[in-house]
Chain A
Amino acid sequence: MTAARTALEIGERALPALVVAAFFAAWEIFVRARGIPAIYLPPPSSIAVYLWRMIADGSLAINLGVTLLRIFGGFAIAGLAGVALGVLMGMSRLVARVADPWIAALYPLPKIALIPLLLIWLGTGEAYKIVISAVTAFFPIVISTYAGIREVDRGLMKAAEDLGASRRQVQLKVVIPAAIPSIFAGLHLGMGVTIILVIAAEMIGGSSTSGMGYLLMQAGQVMETEKVFADLVVLAVVGALVVKLQRWIDRKVAPWSH
């Protein structure tokens, strides 16, 4: 009885991995059976070979490293500026009034549309890639932070006041900690768009000689489809790891919101 149940449980846990394996097996068989040219759809086995080659010759480490540095650079700038302005807006009606029309006007603007302007101003170097990703990530972070600060439970603020907290203490000891889950939600969104914008910026014609976006673009231009797929696999895995890492940090910093 219990043995049957544990067997069932193990089966349930293994199922997602089995489905993934089955998917790749089906892909491999389909490509080989139909004799589809690798230039259109390479079999998973040759994608794996290319991936291994990129790992072995160090090109993956270098390009992934460069891309990650750009992502974290842009994200750090957007995070610091966005949280700071969001908190200030939440605390001061004056700051909120002044900042609000700017955010309302600039938030819906597709930030990719700024690329030509940034290329004119900053050239094709590092500054342009970091600025475009930081500008894009800044908006969801500032909006989410501001909303979090504004939506703090009034009851908690009143309770703190009743227990003798000054206005300043209410803001530091109640409002900011209570807003942390919203601030983190904004940072999650910000991280997502930073990744998109850095890769996109690296892909823009000739603006880059390194990074995952550059590798992807280059492989595409010479029709090395296996390499394109290998790059996509790396980006998917890295993206998943970044999301996992953020969740882990969330649970460490704000365990009460889970």
Chain B
Amino acid sequence: MWPGRGGADIVALEQFSHRFASRRFSCLLGPSGCGKSTLLQIVGGLEKPTSGTIRIADPASPSLARPLGADSVMVWQNLNLFPWRTVLDNVAFGLEMRGVPKAERQRRSRALVGSVGLAGFEHFLPGQLSGGMRQRVALARALVLERPILLMDEPFAALDAQTKIIMQEELAYIVERTHKTVLFVTHAIEEAILLGDEVVVMSARPGRIKEVLPVDLPRPRSLEMVNTKAFGALFDHAFHLIREEVMASMKQQERALSGA
């Protein structure tokens, strides 16, 4: 366990510890079923760990730990928008639960709906929107709470390639502007390198941290960077780590099948 500095988070998983520094964009990369999503939910205070500890250090007094979930908000893989609520009411949900007066929560939600490019769609239901637009609603619903930590669980996995590129760029821009600390789960190497300040490569079950790759590509980043040497080197390295893990996890599954 390392002491957190300036609102840093400490995540312990198996015998591995990692400090997710505040205001950094950390990508968790690993084969499916390595516990990435579970890890996020534990950090968000939505699941209880069977053992181990997670500390979110209080920026005011680093020796104190903040309650889990109080400073973070999730963006879910399947979005979990409320289908009976309009775009505006979905975004306002968190403020409503907190008891913010209606006029104020509408004003703040409207501003966020606009900032994610959905002005004019305030009164649409999620079912009437495209995948990319729904994704923006989910993002706005998380951002409106102004919590410092953003937990994102493969948020763009279901989007088509073009929409995904646009959403990645917009997310990078928003995170930079709002100084969020991000834990971003993905299984796409390219996405992890394009978005992250660091890529935490995880091993197959049991989930452990295999290696932490710092990414010091300049920002703002764009898709053209994929063709640069620096990007290529990071990609190859991550790819080899991941390949070993995918092979290992496939072997595990094979063994489980033949054992059955």
Contact = CB atoms under 8 A, between A and B. Distances in A.
Interface string A150-182: 000101101111111110010001100110100
A164 B145 contact: yes
B60 interface: no
Interface residues of A, number: 22
Given A162-B74, A163-B141, A164-B145, A156 B82 contact: yes
A198 B98 CA distance: 48
A4 to B, nearest CB: 34
Contacts of B235: none
B96 to A, nearest CB: 8
B67 to A, nearest CB: 12
A131 B143 CA distance: 53
Contact of A163 (B125, B126, B145): B145
Interface in B53-87: 69, 73-74, 76, 78, 80, 82-84
A162 B153 CA distance: 13
B97 A159 contact: no
Interface of B: 41, 44, 46, 69, 73-74, 76, 78, 80, 82-84, 93-94, 96-98, 125-127, 141, 145
B46 A160 contact: no
Contact of B97 (A156, A166, A254): A166
Contacts of B69: 162
Contacts of B94: 163-164
Given A162-B73, A163-B93, A169-B97, A255 B82 contact: no
Contact of A256 (B78, B83, B145): B83
Given A164-B145, A255-B125, A158 B80 contact: yes
B145 A159 contact: no
A175 to B, nearest CB: 11
Nearest to A161: B46
A174 B73 contact: no
Contacts of B74: 159, 162
Given A160-B82, A165-B93, A166-B97, 15 more contacts: A155-B76, A155-B78, A158-B41, A158-B46, A163-B73, A163-B93, A163-B94, A164-B94, A164-B97, A165-B97, A173-B97, A174-B82, A177-B84, A178-B82, A178-B84
Nearest to A159: B80
Interface in A181-240: none
B80 A155 contact: yes
Interface string A34-56: 00000000000000000000000
26 contacts: A155-B76, A155-B78, A158-B41, A158-B46, A158-B80, A159-B74, A159-B76, A159-B80, A160-B82, A162-B44, A162-B46, A162-B73, A162-B74, A163-B97, A163-B141, A163-B145, A164-B98, A165-B93, A165-B97, A169-B97, A173-B96, A177-B82, A177-B84, A178-B84, A254-B84, A256-B84
A256 B41 CA distance: 28
A159 B73 CA distance: 9
Nearest to A158: B46
B127 to A, nearest CB: 6
A45 B95 CA distance: 65
Nearest to A156: B80
A180 B83 CA distance: 12
A33 B220 CA distance: 88
Contacts of B84: 177-178, 180, 254, 256
Contacts of B46: 158, 161-162
Contacts of A159: 74, 76, 80
A178 B81 CA distance: 11
Most buried by A among B41, B73, B84, B98: B84
A173 to B, nearest CB: 7
A256 B127 contact: yes
Nearest to A178: B84
Nearest to B72: A162
A74 B44 CA distance: 48
The 3 closest A-B pairs by CB, nearest first: A159-B80, A163-B94, A256-B83
Contacts of B82: 156, 160, 174, 177-178
Contacts of B127: 256
Contacts of A165: 93, 97
A255 B123 CA distance: 13
Nearest to B44: A162
Contacts of B78: 155
B62 to A, nearest CB: 25
Most buried by A among B78, B93, B145: B93
